[in-house]
A = this chain, B = another copy of it.
Amino acid sequence: MIRISVLYATGDGKTFDHAYYVNKHMALVRERLGGLGLRRLEVDRGIAGGAPGAPAPYIGAGHLYFDSVEDFQKAMKPHGKELFADVPNFTNIQPQVQISEFIAQQ
């Protein structure tokens, strides 16, 4: 299984509409990719960093789970453009994308 993490970094002047993100954007992601291999979808709201009083490095994040990178790319091909075009509707942050393989789950 792979996890695609879409990370929205905290920063001065950065805005992020959590309600739109969860209720509209992620609903759209599920609708478009749900029949194309999307196994699970998670949303994070950043609370804090590691040091006392430190802000969360990421104000928000979404995690998509697929069986393989190939499945993810195949699913994004017809829908990626539409999904990325929705990003300015909830944030002015350019997301970072991390694709990871689970190597343990205990």
Show the binding face of A for B, using Cβ within 8 Å: 2-3, 7, 18, 22, 26, 30, 40-51, 56-58, 61, 69, 95-106
Contacts and interface: CB of A to CB of B under 8 A. Distances in A.
A57 B22 contact: no
Nearest to A104: B43
Main SS at interface, chain A: strand
A51 B97 CA distance: 8
A106 B30 CA distance: 8
A22 B45 CA distance: 26
A74 to B, nearest CB: 15
A99 B56 contact: yes
Contacts of A18: 103
B105 A42 contact: yes
